[in-house]
Chains A and B, each alone.
Chain A
Amino acid sequence: MRTAVSTTPGAGGPDEPVLRLEGVHKVYGTGETRHVALDGVTVDFHAARLTALVGHSGSGKSTLLNISGGLEQATSGTITLAGHVLTKMGPAELTRTRASLVSYVFQEYNLIRTMTVLENVCLPLELSGMARAEARRRAATALERTGVPRHTRKFPDQLSGGEQQRVAIARAIADQRPLVLADEPTGALDSANGERVVELLREVTAGGVACVIATHNPEVTAAADHIVRIQDGRVVEGGA
């Protein structure tokens, strides 16, 4: 039996951030192989705001996204997501929290190749406990919003890269989770498809979602409401 997780964006009121990182450290390895990926990061991400996370390769962007979504555990510091302190949670609770609060968009789309487009979009909805019929209805709506409504019965391998990424975004927005984390969502796309994806993410954000995009793409950065720059694991611009 899965425990319901409150999806209220911010426990303290409308101005409260959806996601807050306070003094977050992430260290990989020990001794000679020790590598500090995040070094005392403190940053807020608010609802209805598109945040661009920028920095060089290896600066800690992906690590920050992973820790924010509960895919990795921080070495120290506090992460609060919609009033839930992720750093106090065990793996099972983190999984439940992800199922309720976090959506991901990856550079390589990461669709499940053995499921149809519709099934891929339905998957997070069903995992969060939604009835099948309702999940299919919402998935169809999300696919319509992202412009791939005709491909519901196809498998990901039968779609172009741009179409696959739009399906991935449909999967991320279908459940209306308060936090969308996107890791280089335009990295594998041509400029036209990249623009379409950014446009979609802006639409999603306008719906009240906090959207965090790790990117090197200047067009994405230009479209962002808020820019957080990371360098060597530290926030050098846009931090709290």
Chain B
Amino acid sequence: MNRNRRLAWILGWRLASRSRLRTLLVCLTIALPVAAGTGVAAVTATARVSMPEAEAAAFGSADGRLTALSGERSADATAPARLAEQLKPSLPGDTRLAYDIDVLGLTIRGPEGRQSTVDGRAVNLADPLTDGLYRVDQGAPSAQDGTIVLSAVLADAVGITKTGQSVSIGSGQFTVSALVADRFDLGHRLFALPPGGPKATAALASAKDLGSPRWFVTWPPQADLPTVSGKLKGAGYAYVSSSQAAAISGQGDAMDSTALLVGLGLLAETVLLVTAAFAVVVRSQRRHMGLLAALGAPAKVTASFLRTHALCVAMIGSLAGIAAGQLVARVAAPVLAERAGADWGPVDGAWATSLVLAAVAVAVTVLASMLPSRAALREDPTALLKAVPPVHSTRQLRLRTAAAGTLVTATVAGLAAVVINAGALTAVLGVIVFAAGITATALVLSSLAARKADTSYLPLPAVFRSAMRSLLAFPVRAITTVIALGVVAAVSTTVLIASASVAHKQREDYLPELPDTSALIISSRPLTTTERGALRSSTGASEVSTGYQRAAIARDGKQLPVSPRTDFLDCIDDRGLLKYGNNDWQPCYLASKSHIPFPAVGIADTEGAEALAGTMTDEQRQRYESGQAAVAVTPVGLTNEVSLVAMGRKPDGFVLENTATLPLIHPSTARKTEYQQLPAVLVSQAGARTSSIIPVGSATYLLNADSKPAQQDVLRALPVDAQADSTVTVESGPSVVGAVARLQPAVAAISVLTTMLIVAAMVSLWTSDLRREYQMLGAVGATAWWRRRLASSMSGLLIVISCVTGTLWGIAASIAFLTGMDTDIAVPAGWLAVTVITAVITAAVMGGALVPRHARAQRQA
């Protein structure tokens, strides 16, 4: 090794290993952002749905799917072989197909008589084309008729513990060949039945409904897809290759945006924290730098020694950060996944991102060490030997003010662009606002403080005033710390506001299937008031609503369900086809602003309407009973007027028919939560008659209790003659959509904790930097208690200044980001207050605690 380089390594490494406390603090300032970044990257990578995963979830290992254009139920839906024969002329030779159809409302009974009516699919999971659709937890899917695959949740519900046990559907017995899990809908009760055999056909016949036939398809290598597509359209099918997968994968985009925001914030935070830390380190080494110069060391040796020190500390900090981040991710990801109600699978370490973060941190640290060391090396060795702080020239001051002015201008321009709604650029502008804003504020403060740099450092009687004067006596130190802590406050504020706003949006959008304390009863016959009373008393329920029925209109011998016209229906194009190219509702649901899935209209009397939607005023009740108005049960996406639309399927697409437009009542005591199993809108019997709507299907009741009712208990409490063919649902399906809402408290707590740690590290550095000054104050008669109060006040002041500027810029950045994301701003005032109070207390305590007890008269003793 080159002699000079070896000397630099010795000096650099020794500085790190001998000044353990300072090294620990600097490592902490590097490790915390790296750990946070690594943790976020790993959790995001674990949680996100990649395109290949989305494709596997949508298409298995097939190239894509063929879906029926009409959405009509085919007469041959339970006979895939016949359907395949009809399709063959439209397909190239060697095309491979695997049949798939949605099965709705199939009742499955377990060995102990426990039953569950669920939706699932008839698909042969033993077919290689379906590989990857589900994760097989136990056994292996079979293609044999008489076998069935269950999800773990459904197996649990019907009392199946292992493969090989049997369930019955109608009179048919099915052997469970495998237990599976769907990564994205773990909580769903689903089954997969290999179609085609006599047992499966009989079972499907007992389902309440079947979807449109679909096929997984793999094309031969030379297939001419445009030609094939044309032929398929003629046969009533469309080929879907990626839209559904893109829709599933798209769910991860919001998560990626959040991760990007956090990443950019962390980058800015790392840059400024490390710069502030190394300003302290270089200042502490001024005497050594002067000494090296006096001994004849070339400037490159001195620069190299500080660079090497930075490299050592950065490597240690980054590695510690990666280790801590990975550890946190491994502990947190399963907990977060459970809270989100999803199975994220094994933790993805996102090692590439972690290494990039570490490399960036190392590069930033080395650069941060170079800037102050280069500035110091330009000074006379005698000035360095005296270890006096550098004096800023008027020129430097002007340059700094000019830079601040430029950044302020850029910030104002960025804010103006946000205000005038610059569209897609707003997210980018958010970054500019964030980075430029905080830097500009700090630089302006720096310029102002530098003008006061000659302020006397003699303590004044009042500790608080002394603290202020002491801060001004060390303007560069104070400002670098303010910048770093301001960025911490800004990042923390941004994370808190962004997570709270996204959580708020998701709470708005989230439609839980049922609340935990409710059961939905679809009774085979209407229940009398006495029977409902008996049901209430025997289940301990507080309320059992009067029954309501779904609304429909009769057209061409069919019953067309009636829905409120919401933007969900805008997903249907002018040809009456769903814009997303298949018959699945999910892409429409994702694209819809109202997010009301399967919107429906129900018919109920006034008592039932109030039980479901909330108490109405006398005037509203009168309007509802007379049929002049409808009442909103799920108000999201509905205004003060609602158009009722009947939706039917025709061979060439959908048919939409407006039946009535009614004023909509929003009861003042409306429920806070919305249940997607309830109708969105209710009309009275009179309203139904006016709108030519008829009640169809079974009477449905909502049972509310104080605690989660047991499905079997509710079923047994029904009249004996109604038990057999009634369905009781107590399931409260977890929703991936609500993940951020559920995780928001955890995110906020982590943000507060991280802020506290960074503040502790920075204040410790600051206090250790002023160690000798405190010792000198002791030498001139300041008591230890006085010095502690001075240190606490100075640290507290620093944090207050940092928090004020940082929080303001955090709010500005959040507004810029969230405006771009079309999200309402939710300011979590409580969490912000907790963050600020925690930071101030931490700073004051750390500042006071680290003041040296002993007094020394000499500055360089």
* Chain A residues at the B interface, C-beta cutoff of 8 Å: 2, 66, 69, 71-72, 91-92, 95-100, 102, 104, 106, 108, 110, 112-115, 119, 123-124, 126-129, 132, 155, 171
Contact = CB atoms under 8 A, between A and B. Distances in A.
15 contacts: A69-B294, A71-B381, A92-B299, A95-B298, A97-B296, A98-B296, A100-B296, A110-B291, A113-B288, A114-B11, A114-B15, A114-B19, A115-B14, A123-B7, A127-B301
Contacts of B288: 112-114
A100 B301 CA distance: 16
B415 interface: no
A66 B296 contact: no
B621 interface: no
B860 interface: yes
A127 B7 contact: yes
Contacts of A69: 294
A112 B294 contact: no
Nearest to A119: B10
A119 B401 CA distance: 45
B18 A114 contact: yes
A95 B296 contact: yes
Nearest to B378: A91
A129 B3 CA distance: 8
Given A95-B293, A129-B3, 14 more contacts: A66-B382, A72-B381, A95-B296, A98-B294, A98-B296, A99-B296, A104-B294, A104-B295, A108-B860, A110-B385, A112-B11, A112-B292, A114-B17, A155-B18
B296 A113 contact: no
Nearest to A102: B296
Nearest to A97: B296
Nearest to A91: B299
B11 A128 contact: no
B294 A71 contact: yes
B676 to A, nearest CB: 67
Contacts of B294: 69, 71, 98, 104, 110
A202 B7 CA distance: 31
A204 B295 CA distance: 18
A123 B293 contact: no
A114 B299 CA distance: 19
B380 interface: yes
Contacts of A124: 295-296
Nearest to A128: B296
Contacts of A112: 11, 288, 291-292
A113 B18 contact: yes
B11 A115 contact: yes
Interface in B302-336: none
Interface string B207-241: 00000000000000000000000000000000000
Contacts of A119: 10
Contact of A71 (B10, B19, B382): B382
A171 B297 CA distance: 14
A33 to B, nearest CB: 12
B469 interface: no
A92 B381 CA distance: 12
- Output the residue of A71, A106, A124 with the most chain B CB within 10 A: A71
A115 B14 CA distance: 7
Interface in B1-48: 3, 7, 10-11, 14-15, 17-19
B342 to A, nearest CB: 52
Nearest to B302: A95
Nearest to B858: A108
Contacts of A71: 293-294, 380-382, 385
A127 B295 contact: yes
A110 B298 CA distance: 18
B287 interface: yes
A95 B297 contact: yes
The 10 closest A-B pairs by CB, nearest first: A99-B296, A114-B14, A98-B296, A114-B18, A124-B295, A71-B381, A110-B291, A114-B15, A127-B296, A66-B382
Interface string B394-420: 000000000000000000000000000
A113 B298 CA distance: 20
A129 B4 CA distance: 9
Contact of A123 (B18, B19, B295, B298): B295
A112 B381 CA distance: 15
A124 B385 CA distance: 17
A69 B291 CA distance: 13
Given A108-B860, A115-B10, A72 B297 contact: no
Given A98-B294, A113-B18, A132 B3 contact: yes
Contacts of B11: 112, 114-115
A207 B104 CA distance: 105
A119 B385 CA distance: 20
- Output the residue of A115, A129, A132 with the most chain B CB within 10 A: A115
A128 B515 CA distance: 81
Contacts of B291: 110, 112
B527 to A, nearest CB: 85
Contacts of A72: 380-382
Contact of B295 (A92, A99, A155): A99
B451 to A, nearest CB: 18
Contact of A99 (B7, B297, B380): B297
Contacts of A126: 3, 7
B382 A95 contact: no
Nearest to A181: B294
Contacts of B299: 91-92, 95
A98 B385 CA distance: 15
A80 to B, nearest CB: 18
A112 B3 CA distance: 18
Given A71-B382, A112-B11, A114-B18, A96 B296 contact: yes
A110 B7 CA distance: 17
A108 B386 CA distance: 11
A106 B14 CA distance: 23
A91 B385 CA distance: 16
Contacts of B19: 114
Contacts of B385: 71, 106, 110
A128 B295 CA distance: 9
A69 B294 CA distance: 8
A62 B332 CA distance: 62
B369 to A, nearest CB: 16
A113 B19 CA distance: 10
A108 B859 CA distance: 11
Contacts of B380: 71-72
A127 B293 CA distance: 10
A72 B290 CA distance: 12
Contacts of B14: 114-115
Nearest to B860: A108
Interface string B272-301: 000000000000000110011111111101
Contacts of B301: 127
A70 to B, nearest CB: 9
A176 to B, nearest CB: 14
Contacts of B292: 112
A98 B10 contact: no
A97 B299 CA distance: 14
A100 B385 CA distance: 20
A123 B288 CA distance: 12
A132 to B, nearest CB: 7
Contacts of B295: 98-99, 104, 123-124, 127, 171
Interface in B358-390: 380-382, 385
A124 B292 CA distance: 9
- Output the residue of A66, A102, A106, A126 with the most chain B CB within 10 A: A126
Contacts of A155: 18
